[in-house]
């Protein structure tokens, strides 16, 4: 029985009760005084009407019996309670007004996922084996040199296939003294020479074997995770980084091979060649170490002089630098030659924020310990003498120092 019909029935029953009660003498005298307005409007008319029809009363009784609401007035409340206890019914009931709360997202995990799925920041997605012979590489243009190495662009010999990192590799400008300003490289050059090979200077060509090369130049491999196996038994307690990091230079491979004398070698670094005048005896086959790296576009030093920077670009670049320093400190690796020429940048367009990496670990300390025993002047403290911390630069050798 609907509420509308129930209301009509109740209204008629109330009218009938009022009408029959009003026929009594006392009610006829009291009702006009208690309800004057209502009595004047219709009660005296109702009194003249015919009695309430019997068929309407039977109809109301049948409806009440059929639906059971009149005999069980709390049945509707019970039904509604079950509906609210049912979660699905509750959601459907309030769907028009319910606002879905946003799910909590771990921002750090989201950033890791983005960087981990990007080839630009995770080259392991397109990993490949790199040859360990110098004849397998073709050298390109000279990029720069420092006191201990020269850097050339390179690619795999007899290979027209784009290397895994050539999509985002644009250039490289390395170490300490850049001889000339390198202009932006064209797309053809980017695809043709996507690698950078660091040719280490061997000033001990009169020594046979390659053990001294690994022990004296192995610090360059501090950011190379495979260096732990490569230098096992060759560098004592050397502990390289356990994994790659997007803000640390990417080293593809490193090996010792015969010295390759390039056409401009005599002009650029004659003292590092085995033809130098002070060598009395030369090993049968002069060798040196080669470090194959990803090629980056520019150094931070050149970027500062050639690009305008805004506040947000500077913040992101500083954050990347701090991320790299935190990662190095976490694994007790000190670069010890931090300067703008040893910070490399990678970007595709001039208006985008570059990817920043720390490079040149030739002076690094990576022995899982921050302390160096300095008992005499014969002990080398390592690092760049011009960028040493004051407490290191002013220390005097002694016992337990």
Give me 381's structure tokens. 């403290």
Tokens 């909590």 correspond to what residue? 104
- Neighbour-count burial of 136, counting CB atoms closer than 10 A to its CB (0-12 exposed, 13-18 middle, 19+ buried): middle
Q: Which residues are catalytic?
A: 337
DSSP per position, 114-183: HHHT-TTT-GGGG-------GGGEEEEEEEEE-SSEEEEEEEETT--SPPTTTTT------SSB-SSPPP
User: In the 8-state DSSP scheme, what is residue 334?
Assistant: B
Give me 120's structure tokens. 């630009």
Beta strands 149-156 and 251-258, pairing class? unpaired
Partners of residue 138 on adjacent β-strands: 155
CA–chain centroid gap for 170, Å, is 22
Give me 316's structure tokens. 């992101």
Instruction: Give the residue among 148, 136, 132 at the shortest CA–CA distance from 200.
Output: 148
Instruction: Give the residue among 156, 151, 191, 157 at the shortest CA–CA distance from 174.
Output: 151
- Neighbour-count burial of 167, counting CB atoms closer than 10 A to its CB (0-12 exposed, 13-18 middle, 19+ buried): middle
User: In the 8-state DSSP scheme, what is residue 42?
Assistant: I
């Amino acid at each position: 029985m609907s509420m509308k019909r129930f209301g009509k029935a109740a209204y008629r029953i109330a009218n009938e009760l009022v009408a029959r009660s009003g026929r009594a003498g006392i009610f006829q005298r009291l009702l006009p005084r208690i309800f004057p307005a209502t009595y004047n409007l219709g009660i005296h008319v109702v009194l003249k009407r015919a009695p309430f029809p019997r068929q309407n009363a039977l109809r109301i009784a049948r409806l009440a019996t059929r639906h059971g609401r009149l005999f069980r007035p709390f049945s509707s409340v019970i039904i509604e309670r079950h509906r609210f206890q049912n979660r699905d019914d509750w959601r459907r009931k309030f769907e028009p007004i319910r606002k879905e709360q946003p799910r909590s997202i771990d921002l750090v995990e989201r950033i890791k996922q983005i960087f981990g799925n990007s080839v630009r920041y995770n080259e392991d997605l397109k990993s490949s084996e790199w040859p360990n012979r110098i004849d397998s590489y073709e050298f390109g243009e000279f990029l720069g040199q420092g006191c201990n190495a020269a850097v050339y662009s390179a690619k795999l010999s007899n290979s027209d296939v784009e290397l895994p990192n050539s999509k985002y590799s644009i250039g490289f400008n390395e170490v300490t003294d850049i001889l000339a300003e390198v202009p932006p490289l064209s797309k053809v050059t980017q695809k043709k020479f996507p690698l950078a090979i660091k040719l280490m200077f061997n000033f001990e060509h009169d020594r046979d074997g390659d053990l001294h090369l690994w022990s004296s130049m192995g610090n360059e491999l501090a950011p190379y995770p495979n260096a732990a196996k490569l230098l096992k038994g060759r560098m004592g307690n050397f502990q390289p980084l356990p994994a790659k990091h997007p803000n640390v230079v990417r080293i593809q491979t490193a090996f010792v091979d015969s010295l390759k004398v390039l056409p401009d070698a005599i002009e650029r670094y004659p003292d590092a060649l085995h033809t130098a005048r002070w060598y009395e005896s030369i090993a049968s086959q002069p060798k040196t170490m080669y470090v194959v790296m990803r090629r980056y576009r520019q150094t931070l030093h050149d970027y500062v002089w050639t690009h305008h920077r805004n506040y947000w670009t500077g913040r992101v670049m500083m954050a990347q630098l701090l991320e790299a320093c935190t990662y190095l400190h976490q694994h007790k690796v000190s670069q010890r030659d931090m300067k703008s020429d040893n910070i490399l940048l990678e970007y595709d367009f001039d208006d985008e924020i570059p990817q920043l990496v720390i490079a040149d670990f030739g002076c690094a300390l990576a022995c899982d310990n921050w302390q160096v025993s300095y008992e005499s002047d014969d002990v080398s403290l390592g690092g760049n003498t011009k960028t040493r911390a004051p407490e290191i630069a002013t220390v005097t050798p002694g016992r337990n120092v």
